[in-house]
Amino acid sequence: MAGPLTALGYGAIGLTQAGAAATTSYVIGHGAKTYLRQGCQWGPKGIKTVIHQLVVQAKTDSDPNITYDPEHRPEVANLVHLTALCEGLDPLELADEVGSRGASELKRRAAEAVNEHLKPIRSRRAELMRDRGYLRDILRHGSDRARGIAQRTLEAVAAAMHTDY
């Protein structure tokens, strides 16, 4: 049965997911800008420091107590939700844990959680980067496949336009 509480619950979940997506997009977008601005390098301190700096710069509010309230405290809720997703916790539980330790503790924990969450991905990337031959093979295979798809598309367009002489 879909009543007002169910709709409200779905709305809150949707807002929370949108907020987490926005925070994640913010971190990724600004991380990419930093990477490009530094000549496609993370700089001397590395990506972990860049992510930490970006999370620390994320907007919060002036309330010193951390709560999970997506409707009234969206910026704080975004960081809580992002951290909870990376740590595998419920956002309410995480907000209670951080509580009166405030936004600086939340941001520290968020940066640590994001970096820890990305650790296996970074490790796999480093492993792949060591085998340049394998990467070239993947790129060659992808290019061949894309070329075949593009050729069929061009042939279909030419046929539709009656220019396939």
Give the CATH number, domain containing residue 28: 1.10.240.10
Quick check: 146 pLDDT over 70? yes
Same domain, 144 and 159: yes
Residues 108 and 61 in one domain: yes
Indicate the average pLDDT of the chain: 82
Are 100 and 147 in a shared domain? no
Confidence band (pLDDT; 50, 70, 90) for 141? Answer: very high
pLDDT (0 to 100) of residue 117:
92
d(CA 151, CA 119): 39
Q: Tell whether the model's pLDDT for residue 1 goes beyond 60.
A: no
65 and 13 belong to one structural domain: yes
pLDDT in tens, 64-117: 999 999 999 999 999 999 999 999 999 999 999 999 999 999 999 999 999 999
Query: Using CB atoms within 10 A of its CB, is residue 70 exposed (0-12), middle (13-18) or buried (19+)?
Result: buried
Query: Given this model, what pLDDT does residue 88 score?
Result: 94
Q: What is the pLDDT of residue 156?
A: 93
Is the same domain home to 144 and 65? no
One domain, residues 43 and 64: yes
Q: State pLDDT tens for residues 112-125.
A: 999 999 889 888 88
Q: The dihedral of CA 37, 80, 113, 108: what is its sign?
A: positive
- Of 46 and 150, the structure prediction assigns the larger pLDDT to 150
Query: Is there a single domain that holds both residue 34 and residue 86?
Result: yes
One domain, residues 72 and 142: no
The total number of structural domains in the chain stands at 2
Rounded mean pLDDT, 7-35: 57
What proportion of the chain, given as a percentage, has pLDDT over 90? 52
What does the pLDDT read at residue 91? 95
Q: What is the pLDDT of residue 11?
A: 52
Residues 92 and 157 in one domain: no
Q: Give the domain range for residue 65.
A: 4-130
Note whether 93 and 65 are within 8 A (CB). Answer: no
Q: Quick one: 86 and 165 in the same domain?
A: no
Indicate whether 24 and 39 sit together in one domain. Answer: yes
Q: Are 50 and 31 in contact (CB under 8 A)?
A: yes
Identify whether residues 92 and 41 lie together within a single domain: yes
Residue 164's pLDDT band (cuts 50, 70, 90): confident
